[in-house]
Amino acid sequence: MAVAKLPALINSALAQARPKFSIFMKYARVELAPPKLSEMSQIKAGIGKLLTSAKSGAWKQQTVKQATLNTLVGAEVLFWFYVGECIGKRHLVGYDV
């Protein structure tokens, strides 16, 4: 009885997943693409702006929401760095010498 309903359940799950997957792929093509050469000037300007605000102390004038968001982004960068290190050395702790 349950086996007979399985193809219908799979088809309905696929029908519901297709629109969400297409939205995911639309954003993934844009967000996960490496930067283009035309975007390098924007990256340089952004880094310059970041350094200027760090030197002038503008980071002290952030709201709690902005500071929390920046902290979470920094934690995410560190997390993915750690994941990349674990993948690269193929161990959680230490290197296999």
31/29 Cα distance (integer angstroms): 6
Q: According to the 3-state scheme, what is the secondary structure of 33-71?
A: CCCCHHHHHHHHHHHHHHHHHHHHCHHHHCCHHHHHHHH
Asked if the model's pLDDT at residue 96 lies above 70, the reply is: no
Q: pLDDT tens for residues 31-71?
A: 888 888 999 999 999 999 989 988 998 888 999 999 999 99
In the chain, what percentage of residues exceed pLDDT 90?
53
26/18 Cα distance (integer angstroms): 12
61/8 Cα distance (integer angstroms): 56
